Structure formats: C-alpha cells, structure tokens
Amino acid sequence: MFTRYQSVADSVNALRNKGEKFKILEVGGRGNHLRSFLPNDHITILDVIDCEDENYIKGDGRSLPFKKKSFDIIVSTDVLEHIPGKDREKFLKEQFRVSKKAIILAGPTNEKWIEKAEKESNNYYKSLSGVDHPWLVEHMEYILPSRELIEDTISSNKASWSVWYNQTPDLWEELNMVDMLVGAISTPKTLAALKKLNKIYNQDIFKFDRGKNGYRSIYTIMTDGSEAPEALIHKTLIDLPLDKLVLLSSAITDVYRSAEAHFLGVIGQLSTEKAKTESVKDENKRLKETILLMSADINRINGRIRKIESSFAYRIWRAYKKILNH
C-alpha cells in the first residue's frame, strides 16, 4: 500500500508549484489512502464499491460522472489491470476527458517476468490457503495491460508523458511471497514481523527501489499541453547501503521464522489429534495430508531463509557481528 501511494504522491508533488493545491480525483480509491499522502489537496474518491467516506462518489471509471476538465489531476493506481481488456481504452479516454492538468496512472503491465511471478505467487498462496488470491487471479483472468495500449492512447491524445518504475523484480518477488505467506496465516507473531519489515522497507528501502523494469510503472501524463517532468529515478538498489540491505534481509527472515514456528506448533497439535483418530480412517487421512502440506511449507520457508543467509550481504554482516562480539 505504501509503495503504491507514495509513488503517486511523489509524482503529484513533482507537478506542484510552491504552495499550489490540487483538486484530485482518484478512480478506484476505496479506502481513502491517498488523502494521508497528500493531506493539503482536495481529493475525491470514486469506486464501484460502496463506502462511507464523505469525499466518496459511487461510479465507474469507464463512464465518469463529471464534466470535461473537472479535476486538475486524475489518479488511478493498480486499477487498469482489473478492467476487462475491451474496456481499457475507454477507461483511459475518460481520464483524458475529465483531467485539466495531468493523469497519474500506475500499475503492473504484461511483462513476462511479472506474469510468471504473479502466477507463482498465486500458486504459493493457494498451497497455503486452499484458494486463489482474489486480485492475482483477476490479473490472470483479464491479462495485465500492455505498455503499448497505454502509450498508444497517450499518443492519440497528443499528450507529453514520462514514466518511472518501482519495486525491482527480485525484491518484489521476495516481498510479495512474504505478503502471500502472512495473508494466508495471519497470526499475531507473523503480523508483528511483517509490520516491522514494512517499516524498514518504507523508511529505508523504498527510495532506492526504483529503476527500469520494475513491477509497477508510474506514468505522468500531461493533459494541459505542457511538458511532462523527468522520470523520478534518483537512486536504485545499487545505491542501497549495505547495512540497510542486511536489515531488510534480517526482517524478511524473521517473518519466515515466525511462520515456521506457527507451522511446527500446528503440526504438533495435528499429530496429537492424528494419534487419537487412528480408528477414524477418513479423518486420519485428512490430518496426515495437512501435516505433509505444512511440512512442505516449512521446507520452502527454510529454502528461502538459506537463500537469504547465503547472500553476500548477509555473510558480511555475520562476519562483522562476529568481530564485534570478540
């Protein structure tokens, strides 16, 4: 959530003259998160799902209930991929119609690595929870939008634009697997470990997690005839200080270890139940299968921990700690 909205806020602020306040429409803004990142702007949220926020209007992004040039800036982040393919151009054209100054459009596109990574993430979530992940399965059903569609629509409207990216492939895949894990087994300890990880990422990592070929493309599209600002790529993970990388790796490992402890505890309980149900064949079989699945999850978690602990940064950190302890 933070990466999505901080990216939008950074892009909006790049358009702002000193003291300027914008009238912003967020299409698909249920939850009202953007207001926390842009507290001085007047923000209206539009969504097809009802909510009780006073700045909410019910509506569909494919047919915006506003006159031409009603808002300075139109924002839609991680929404286009949830619009059926045949309606995406219409969705984009509506934003051009209603925007006076600019459109900020953010979300994943149909790069091969993204499609593959999302499929793997969904399979992982399903192995833990027994069901598909709701937004990932919709991505696969509708197919992620192409950059060509977006950029051709921009060109047909003769607008200036720039694009930057965040959430580089390897790191996005690792952090998304953590999200899938905690989403499937939300225990107090895993949630606390995830909260700590998110705080480290938001404070220390996000500003470096930019560069080409990231998970999320963030387009700034000018609808007032002016030139788009330069893409907001100032630092990348190459610039990330070693101590911050180690801090992140350690926090990811803590999430996995909290999940591992949960699985081990559940397996212990199931084993006790299994011993009590030897005479009930079907129940015994179900418990046996559950234990095997959880054991596989533990092996997968341990594999990820070993991968982190064998990294160059982690080994340097271990050596440094050893020196300090002596």
Q: In this structure, what token pair is assigned to residue 289?
A: 């299968």
Mean pLDDT, residues 5-34: 91
The pLDDT tens digits of the residues spanning 200-216 come to: 999 999 888 887 789 99
The total number of residues written for the chain in this structure = 326
Mean pLDDT, residues 183-189: 87
By C-alpha distance, which of 157, 147, 164, 153 is closest to 220?
Answer: 164
Domains of the chain (ranges, CATH numbers): 2-109+145-168+210-236 (3.40.50.150), 169-208+241-326 (no CATH)
> Roughly how many angstroms between the first and final C-alpha of the chain, as a whole number?
42
Mean pLDDT, residues 153-177: 91
Residue 318 banded pLDDT, cuts 50, 70, 90: low
Mean pLDDT, residues 14-23: 93
- The pLDDT value recorded for residue 191 is 93
Give the integer Cα–Cα distance in Å for 200 and 245. 10
The pLDDT tens digits of the residues spanning 248-268 come to: 888 888 888 888 788 777 767
Q: Quote the percentage of the chain above a pLDDT of 90.
A: 51
- The pLDDT value recorded for residue 288 is 64
The yes-or-no verdict on residue 138 having pLDDT over 80 is yes
